[in-house]
Structure 1
Amino acid sequence: MTKFAPLAEFRKPVEATYQLAFFRFSPLEGDRYVLTNQAGEYLVLPRSVLSSFIRHELSSSDSYYSRLRHRHFLFDASSNLGKALLANKVRTKAKRLENFTSLHIMVVSLRCEHSCPYCQVSRQSEDRSAFDMTEETAEKALALVFRSPSPSIKIEFQGGEPLLNFELIRYVVGRAEQINSSEQRDLQFVITTNLAVVDNTILEFCRLHDILISTSLDGPADLHNANRPRPSRNSYELAVAGIQKARKVLGHERVSALMTTTKTSLSKGRQIIDEYVQLQFPGIFLRPLSPYGFAIKTKSYAAYDVDRWLDFYFDGLEYIIDLNRRGLPFKELYASTILTKMLTPFEPGYVDLMSPAGIGISAVVYNYDGDVYASDEARMLAEMGDKTFRIGNVHDNSYHEIFASDALLDPIEQSFAGSAPMCSECAFEPYCGSDPVFHMATQRDFVGLKTRSAFCHRNMTIFKRLISLMEDSPMIRELFLQWAN
C-alpha cells in the first residue's frame, strides 16, 4: 500500500483549484439558496450549483463560476486581485466606525400637548416645566458633542414636543454654531416636531440656521387624529398646515415625515401611502411600533404581532412598486436602507441595522435631566424604569467615562452580530444588526434567543423577500438599484 495518492492527483487543471472565500448561505423558496460574503455582496444559486461549488466541482466554464469569482465567493489563479478587492470593500463598509458618534439627540422637553396612546416616550403634560432641559445642562451636553471625532455632527432636538422649549433650541443652535466656528465640523440641525405649535418666528429661525424639520404623519385625517389625539381633535389639520407652511419657508425637501403603524393602520396601508403621495413626499418609512413607553402601558405594542405587520408591510411595498411601474417615483425608505447595504459598498448608518450595534457609537441621547443614553430607544426604556443603557450624566461624568463605560461597551461586545449565537451563522448578518435595547426590552438579555426574536423574524423575512423580488423581476431590480443609490 502506498502512503500518498499518485502524483497525477495533485496536477489538476487550474479550474479545479479554486479557493472558497468565507461565505454564509440560507435557503430561499424552491431550490434556491442565497449566499453572502463578508462585504455583503450576495448571489442566488440553485441547490445543485451550490453543492458543486462547495465540493470544488464547479467548472470554470459554468455561467455561475464567473459570477462567484467576480463577487469574491471564490479565488483562483486567473487573478490575484480578488482578496485585495474584497478586503477593500469590507474596509469601506466599516469606515463609519472610525468617525464614531455623529448623531446627537437632545431631549429639550418631555412636555407635549398630544396624548398619543402609542407614545414611546412617556410624555408629560404641557405645564410641567420641571421636564425641560436647562441651559446649564445643554452647555454640558454640547461640550460632549464636540468631543466626538466625527467630521459630521447632527444635533437633533426631540421631546415630548421640543418646540414647547423653543428658547433652549435657539440657545443651543447659537452656541453650537459659535463652537463650530473654530471646530469646523459639518454641522446640521433637525427638529422633530408634531408642528402643532409651530409659528412664523420659529420657521424663520429655522430658515436662517438651515434647520431641517421632521414631523409625524400617520395617514389620512381619521387615522392620524385617532392615533395622535389632542384636545381640539385637529392633530391632522395642524400637521398638514404645518408641513405646507414649513415647506413654503424652508423649501420642500427640508421637511420630512414619519408614520407609526397601529392596529388601526393595518387595514389602511394603501390609504396611508396615498396620503404621502398626495402631500408630495418622495417616500414613506412603513414603521412598526416599538416596545417602549406608553406603547406598552396602553398595550398598543401587543395589539398586533410581527406577522400581521409583515402582511401590512409587503402589501404596502407591492403597492409602491406598482406606483413606480405607473411612472410615479416613490420609495419605501426602510427597504431603501436595506438595499443600500445589499447593493452598494456603503453603510447607511441606520442604528438598528448596524453591527457592532449603533448604540452610543453612532447615535447618543442627552436627556432633559442630563442623563446620557446609548440610543433613543434606550432613553425610552429608561422612562419605563429600566436604566440599563444609561451611560452617564453630563454633570457628573467626563467624555471618557461615558463612552468607555461598561454600560455601553458590554452590550456592544455581547451583541456583536458577527459572534452572537445564530447571527454568526446567518446569511443575512451583513445586512442586519443585533439591537441589544430591543432584546433587553423583550427578552431581558442583550442578545436574546433569536428563534423568539420579533426583530430577527421581521428583518430576515424582509431580506429574503427583497432578494427574491430582485431575482424574479429585472424591472424591480433596476428600481431597487435606484433606491439604493
Structure 2
Amino acid sequence: MIHQYKNNGYNIVLDTNSGAVHVVDDLVYDVIGLLDQGKDSESICRELSTSYSDSDVKEAISECHELEEAGQLFTKDIYRDAIIDFKARQTVVKALCLHIAHDCNLACKYCFAEEGEYHGRRALMSFEVGKKALDFLIANSGSRRNLEVDFFGGEPLMNWQVVKDLVNYGREQEKLHDKKFRFTLTTNGVLLNDEVMEFCNKEMANVVLSIDGRKEIHDLMRPFRKGKGSYDLIIPKFQKFAESRNQEKYYVRGTFTRNNLDFSKDVLHLADLGFKQISVEPVVAQESEDYSIREEDIPQICEEYDKLAKEMIRREKEGRGFNFFHFMIDLTGGPCVYKRLSGCGSGTEYLAVTPWGDFYPCHQFVGQEEFLMGNVDEGLKRLDIRDEFKCCNVYAKEKCRDCFARFYCSGGCAANSYNFHGSINDAYDIGCKLQQKRIECAIMIRAALADSEES
C-alpha cells in the first residue's frame, strides 16, 4: 500500500508497510501512481507519452521496480496475516496516571473532567492510596525495570505535599525492587512557584504546562471560576520554568477549538514567547458544544497545518526553530511493531487511578462505571475489560485497515472512539482526518530540511 501526496512543492510517496518515504520528480510520481493501479509498462508508456519521452518513462519504471525489489515500494503487509493473538499475549502494567486531585482552580470550558470532578465528587488522593497504587505498579510490572507515573488532575498542585511524598516513596522503592520510576506532572500553573519548580527539576522527567496560546484565546477557554482569565498569571511562570529546564523535558500544551481555527497563530505566539517544546491539539467534543470542531472545519484546519509547517521550516533554517509535538515523527526507526499495532496500551499496560483508588483503562474513562476495572486494595477484578483492550489494535478497526497513517497513530484514541461510536474498536473520524494531515506535514518537513542540508 502506498500513499502519494503533494505538499509545499514536494512530491512525496509513502510506502505504508515498510515506512519508506520517497521524494520524487513528477515523472516518477506519475509512474508510481499508474503502477499502483496495476498497469503494465506498455500501458504506462502509452499513457505518459504526451508528457515524457519513452526512454525516460522506461527508466522511471525500472527505478520503481528496483525499489520494489529492495523492499521500499509496494511492500506486502506482513502483519495482517501474521498478527499474534493479542488477547493471549502476556502484558504487564508499566504506567499509572495518578489522579492526585479531582479538583481544579480553573473552570476550563472544554474540560472532559468537568472542572476536575470526573462525573463524581471532588476529592484529593491520600498518601496511603497513592502508596498502594505504586505498590500495585511494582508488583504487576513483572521484569520490567522502567516504570512511569504521571501526576494528573484536576490540578495536581492542589495536592502538592502528597505528590512530593509519593515521589520520595517511589525513590525508596526503586532501591528495594530494582525499579526506576519516571515521574511526570501536568499543571495549569496557577500554583506554580519556585519551590515547585526546584522539586520538579530534580524529580520530574517531563512537565506539561497547560496554555492555549494568545491571551484572548486562552482567557476565553481557561478562566478562573469567577470568569477572570489566567493568562497573565501563568505566562511569566511558564517562561521561567521552561528556561530553568534548559528548554527541554517539558511541553506547553494547548487545545484549539472552533473559536480559534487559526490556531497556527497560537502556536507561533507560544514560540515567540520563547517556548521550544509546543503541543496544541484539536478539542474533542460533541457537536452540540458551540466550541466543537465539525466536519466543515477540516479544510481550514488542514490549511493551518500547512501554514505552520512552512513557517517551522523557515524558522528552523534561520536558527530559531522549535518542536511541535504533532509534527515530530521518526522516519528511520519509530515505534516498535508491537506499539504500532496496539497503540497506547490503555487498559493493559497503562491504567488511571482515582483519588479513592479505583482503576480505569485511562484518564478519559474515569467516572464511566462500565469501565471500572478494580482498585488498589483488591487489584484488577475486571480482566474481561483488560482483555477487550488487549484486542484493540489497527486490525481490529475497520477504518484503520486501509489507512496509510495506521502505523503512526496506532489506531487512535480508544476513549474518543467509544465516546463517539460506543466501541473502542471504531475511530473518531474528524480526529483521523486531522491526524492524517499532521503526518503528511511532518513527513514534508523532514523532506524539506533534508533537502536544505543537501543543498
Where on the TM-score scale, by shorter chain, does this alignment land: which range?
0.7 to 0.9
Amino acid across the alignment from 2:102: L
Q: 1:195-224: per-residue Cα shift (whole Å, max 9, x none)? A: 111223333333443554321121122222
* 1:236 maps onto 2:231 in alignment: yes
C-alpha distance 348-258 of structure 1, shift in aligned 2 (>3 A)? farther
Q: 1:102-157: per-residue Cα shift (whole Å, max 9, x none)? A: 432101111111111111211258xx995111222212211122122433222111
C-alpha distance 478-196 of structure 1, shift in aligned 2 (>3 A)? farther
The alignment covers a number of residue pairs equal to 417
Give the counterpart of 2:272 among 242, 262, 278: 278
* 1:49 maps onto 2:35 in alignment: yes
Partner of 1:148: 141
**C-alpha distance in structure 2 between counterparts of 1:213 and 1:51, whole Å:** 48
Give the counterpart of 1:314 among 306, 318, 327: 306
Q: 1:331-378: per-residue Cα shift (whole Å, max 9, x none)? A: 322121xx22xx122318999x76355323453211212121212222
Confirm or deny: 8 A CA contact 2:208 2:251 kept in the other structure: yes
Partner of 1:423: 400
* 1:436 maps onto 2:436 in alignment: no
Give the counterpart of 2:431 among 455, 472, 477: 455
Q: 1:241-288: per-residue Cα shift (whole Å, max 9, x none)? A: 222343465544244210110222223522x12322223222422300
Amino acid across the alignment from 1:430: F
C-alpha distance 277-357 of structure 1, shift in aligned 2 (>3 A)? closer
* 1:113 maps onto 2:105 in alignment: yes
Confirm or deny: 8 A CA contact 1:220 1:275 kept in the other structure: yes
Give the counterpart of 1:264 among 248, 259, 264: 259
C-alpha distance 135-299 of structure 1, shift in aligned 2 (>3 A)? farther
* Paired residue secondary structure (2:406): coil
Amino acid across the alignment from 1:438: N
With normalisation by structure 2, the TM-score equals: 0.77
Give the counterpart of 1:168 among 162, 175, 197: 162
Confirm or deny: 8 A CA contact 1:207 1:250 kept in the other structure: yes
Confirm or deny: 8 A CA contact 1:349 1:362 kept in the other structure: no
Cα drift, residue 192 of structure 1: 0.7
Cα drift, residue 445 of structure 1: 2.1
**C-alpha distance in structure 1 between counterparts of 2:402 and 2:40, whole Å:** 16
* Paired residue secondary structure (1:313): helix
C-alpha distance 243-114 of structure 1, shift in aligned 2 (>3 A)? same
Deviates more, 1:206-215 or 1:431-440: 206-215
* 1:370 maps onto 2:354 in alignment: no
Amino acid across the alignment from 2:424: F
**C-alpha distance in structure 1 between counterparts of 2:67 and 2:312, whole Å:** 30
Amino acid across the alignment from 1:166: W
**C-alpha distance in structure 1 between counterparts of 2:287 and 2:379, whole Å:** 31
Give the counterpart of 1:346 among 334, 357, 367: 334
Cα drift, residue 479 of structure 1: 7.6
Q: 1:455-484: per-residue Cα shift (whole Å, max 9, x none)? A: 3222234444555x37xx952455899xxx
Confirm or deny: 8 A CA contact 2:189 2:209 kept in the other structure: yes
**C-alpha distance in structure 2 between counterparts of 1:345 and 1:72, whole Å:** 14
* Paired residue secondary structure (2:181): strand
Partner of 1:188: 182
Give the counterpart of 1:300 among 286, 291, 294: 291
C-alpha distance 361-396 of structure 1, shift in aligned 2 (>3 A)? closer
Cα drift, residue 37 of structure 1: 5.0
Give the counterpart of 1:397 among 376, 379, 399: 379
* Paired residue secondary structure (1:287): strand
Cα drift, residue 416 of structure 1: 2.0
Cα drift, residue 179 of structure 1: 0.8
Partner of 1:220: 214
Cα drift, residue 168 of structure 1: 1.1
C-alpha distance 121-299 of structure 1, shift in aligned 2 (>3 A)? farther
**C-alpha distance in structure 2 between counterparts of 1:107 and 1:227, whole Å:** 22
Identity over aligned pairs, percent: 17
C-alpha distance 427-214 of structure 1, shift in aligned 2 (>3 A)? closer
Amino acid across the alignment from 1:197: L
**C-alpha distance in structure 1 between counterparts of 2:174 and 2:362, whole Å:** 24
Amino acid across the alignment from 1:253: E
| 5+ residue gaps, structure 1 | 1-23, 76-81
* Paired residue secondary structure (2:401): helix
